A and B are shown apart, each in its own frame.
Chain A
Amino acid sequence: MKKILCVPFDPVHDVGIKLIKNSLAERGHCTELLPPDLSMEEIVKKAAATQYDYILVSRTLGYGVAELLARFNDLLDAAGVRESTKVVLGGKPITPELAAELGFDKGFGEHSSIDEVIAYIEDRPLNGTADNHKRTKPDIASHYFYSFRHKRIGELLDTIAEKTLHWAEGKSSSGIERCKIQEELSAVSDPSQKKRLTDRYNSLCDPVIADANSKKIFPKGVRYITDDEMENVRLLIREKQPLRQQNIRHHSRQPLIFKFLGSGCPTMDIVHAKICERYGVNGFLIVNPSWEARYEGLLHGLLTHENDGTITSEENIRLMRDCLNPSTLLTVRAHRGLNTPEMIYLAAKAGADMTKINLVYGSLGAGTDPERLTVDGLYAMKIAAEHNMAFDIPGNDELSGVPAAKSLAGLLINVMLGKKLGAKAILKPLFCYGPDIVLHGQMKQNFVDYNAAKIRALRSIVDAPIWPGEPIAFMTQTEERVQSANATSYHAALAASTGVDAITIASTDEAFSRGPITIASRIDSIRAVTDAFRFMGDASFQPTAAADNFTDDFVRKIQSALETVAAYANLPEAINAGALGSKEDGAYPGKFGKGTVRNSEQQIPNHK
């Protein structure tokens, strides 16, 4: 049992020390709380008169307070009290450095818990439930069976998937070839063999990529990360111990929180990620430069890029993975573009946890040619399955103007294809105010019903994880940061209320940053969501009756879209014909890689 004198130096902000006093008393310590109106000399007199083990002082900082606290310590020291009594300072802005500077034996600040204070006083390590530093890596897809609850839709999806897999049999592309070369390269050590494979790889790349990899002539704005930059990152990770990690989620049933990384500069991404981790973000999605989707071949090496999107080379992914906490999830997107299989293979090799594939959205919105993306995407799903990587399917075609039901139908096709190839898919319906909604007024009454109906509809169709994105609140945010944070937090609260598995949130300046987004803006939305989750707890939104109508409407329209797609010979044909988003909707089949699919000996693996 310790004898403890609690000194509220600040008569107003004394809640903390009262809580600590009560907790200490509950644990059997002898505590005494001084009244708040004593002079410094009176407090010292009191402290000197009895043998206390600890004197706990609480005080917020303000003008001249540091000097006041310093003098208090001086008086205790000169009176001889400090030879046998430890003096501890607590208050919102107190850091260990400040406590040392002011001469206190220990300091506890905003991020310290009462358990930490008690552990210090009892001279024991922090243990048990109080220690929330240790986190385990969550697995979003592990609890789902991918069984189709809606019989007819399940049948339609089966038909579409079978037709598509059958169509893709015997087809290959340079994207698949490069992926295979990468697999071979990782297995050989002989330099001449490596050279042969590398030459072959470069021959399958667009000249701009081949030149960069072979002659180190990089596209404009691309360069290697310097040794100094690497050293700084290492120092940052090693020397800057994060403060006690916070949780965004009030309880574990609330969704995991993801953020984008993609400043172009991996080291800047890491700095942002470390700060976000500390604020409780559970995972990150690396957003790559748009040109990575358009060129055949990927750049290799630790590369930085003075433009939007971070280059997803194996080395960059590995660096980011190594710098993140082991429990933090990392997703590498590969859902559109000419390098989908290779990107997923390299991401798996570099330790990424998840990836992103959407054959439909990746083929629309001026993306990749549907045939090419289908052939590549199916191979990519196989790679994902081999490496036990779940893939998420972003429904961002809705932003091109595609009606939500068609977008959701597209997601479901990917789920069924993944299921047949052994890969676990994660549905990513948008929580957005998209063009179709603006035009047709589904959100005229509120933003709750329509978004909630998407989740209800998907749940009624399939048993699969749901992760609204991407990010949530798309098109509802403005340049004003408070508004933007609010919009994100309301959508996050709705997501939590619907029981989804994860959400992606944007920073408050994401849409308006005119360059790399800022740390402060990232924290804005994280803190807003944290508060929303705390506010909601186990409570939930009560959508109006309109949500039921929207749900029925979604299911009916999804079925109708899938009936249309199933009538075509295969998925690419359906996409090209506008069955999952027409030119009238604003969706245009992509042209990159058109005509590059060819027959090969390589069989696209059939379903399990």
Chain B
Amino acid sequence: MLTTIGIAGTAKNTGKTTTLNALLHYAQSGARSTNDAPSMSFRAAEGGEKSASAQETQSGFLTSPARSRNSDGFGMTTGVTSIGYDGEEIDNITLLPKPRIFLNRGMIASTSSQCVPENGWSVLYKTGLFTALGEIVIVRCETPGLIVLAGPNKRSELETVVRQMADLGCENIFVDGALNRIAPMSIVDKIIFTTGAARTTDIATLVDEMKAIESLFGIGRTKWTKSILKAEGHCEGAQRPKQSPEFTRKTRLLRQTTARNDNDLEFLRWPPNKQEKPPINVILSEANLPAGQAGNPDFSAGNSTGTIIDATEAEIILQHYKIMCYVRRGGYPLHIDGLITSNGLRTLVERIHLLPDAERPQEIIFADPITMLLSGEPKTTAQLLSHLIEKNITISYQKPIQLAAITVNPFYPECRGTTYTSAYVDAKVLISRMKQSLETPTFDTMRNEVSELNRCIK
């Protein structure tokens, strides 16, 4: 079973690659020998303390039976990629040293062709997709060594490349983030969020923000059932023959039809124990436009490449939702796929509050927690959603993602004139406050807690 684990950060320098290295080191130690149980400090790429038990390694998520299944005998279980540019010696912006990425023999990486070292790596597959640094290639490590990762940096391409890596034998794929970028992470199964002093040195703000992020990931968790996964495979699989069901997602919202045929009924099971009615998607087209808006090029029908739901669009969606409910005689879940802005969400909340109880949607399904995070400040988004919950509206995601762990980094680059220097906030205070306030397992990036971190993403 393929598991994709993303490592996303609230900002640059919050410890994404350090966290990745810790996970990779654990995987590599596991791959070498189950008796040589791994453990390491996040800080040191080449650690080697023996604190985790052999039992833990054998049952750990990184120890996969695929190693023995694979014909090449290298145990092609771990894959790694980055949505940015990671593993370089010196940071592109601060010019401070960065953690390097060291892979063991047999591990698989996807990176841009210009980043593949001349020796020690064999190219397994050329993807035909390009970054600013050339074609993305999937390579296997033949001689343990350092690599710079610059993999697919947009959601659809990450999804494709992850699928291809899985086809090449990867069972666990780590996706390293870049700066504060998170959009492509909406395709991962589990996520580790990194935060720290590089985001802000104000500990209270950091804790508040992380709490809000945690709450956004936590939405609808209890309603996350197998039925939705089953339904998703059914919806779009035909258009992407190379994608296996667990990686297919429903298409982007709003161009979805409002009329559904019987085959879609499977989808209607979700959420369970509710009336079996399909969620209502709204097409944003000229037909939906309020009077006077027709002809606005922003809404030219059939020509749009994407959807961003701002205040105007939120109003249209609700108007349409009301009509559909009336036509279909009953309350249906409202499906808001795609990106909704803070203004869009605020308008939605305000308008829904004004609606009589009978006309309110009982459920709203958003795309995924990552897209929700992109709405605006996590704290604002969480507050707005709480206003919906106040009205007994069930909130859930079409594609939930498990927030597996949080790592916290006391380091930050301090700007001094035109140069940066390394600085730290009080690590003890930072970590203890975080741990007190968060339910998700939280770790100090600088401390030796890798085996516990691994347990979280099993």
Contacts and interface: CB of A to CB of B under 8 A. Distances in A.
Given A70-B178, A80-B252, A100 B370 contact: no
Nearest to B155: A77
Contacts of A46: 298
B124 interface: no
Interface residues of B, number: 49
B343 to A, nearest CB: 7
A49 interface: yes
Contact of B12 (A45, A67, A84): A67
B321 interface: no
Nearest to A94: B132
Given A70-B180, A70-B181, A78-B374, A102 B84 contact: yes
A104 interface: yes
A336 B306 CA distance: 74
Contacts of B280: none
Nearest to B299: A49
Contacts of B307: 48, 79-80
Interface string A375-386: 000000000000
B217 to A, nearest CB: 16
B40 interface: no
Interface in B130-165: 130-133, 150, 153-156
Interface string A22-55: 0000000000000000000100111111111000
Nearest to A98: B92
B118, B298, B308 interface centre (most CB from chain A within 10 Å): B308
A236 B6 CA distance: 34
B179 interface: yes
A95 B367 CA distance: 34
Interface residues of A, number: 44
A71 B11 CA distance: 11
A51 B305 CA distance: 5
B297 interface: yes
A74 interface: yes
Given A75-B374, A97-B133, A100-B84, A48 B310 contact: no
A78 B338 contact: yes
A156 B367 CA distance: 94
B180 A67 contact: yes
A413 interface: no
Nearest to A80: B306
B177 to A, nearest CB: 10
A48 B181 CA distance: 19
A471 interface: no
A49 B339 contact: no
Contacts of A71: 180-181, 374
B308 A82 contact: no
Interface in A387-410: none
Contact of B93 (A61, A73, A80, A81): A61
Interface of A: 41, 44-52, 61, 63, 66-67, 70-71, 73-85, 95-107, 238-239
10 contacts: A46-B298, A49-B297, A71-B180, A74-B181, A75-B308, A78-B155, A78-B186, A83-B305, A97-B92, A105-B131
7 closest cross-chain pairs (CB), A and B: A80-B306, A77-B183, A101-B85, A48-B306, A99-B132, A79-B306, A74-B183
Interface of B: 11-12, 83-85, 88, 92-93, 112, 114, 118, 130-133, 150, 153-156, 178-184, 186, 252, 297-300, 303-308, 310, 338-339, 341, 343, 367, 370-371, 374, 415
Given A49-B304, A78-B374, 12 more contacts: A41-B308, A41-B343, A45-B308, A49-B299, A50-B304, A75-B339, A79-B306, A79-B307, A79-B338, A83-B305, A85-B305, A238-B118
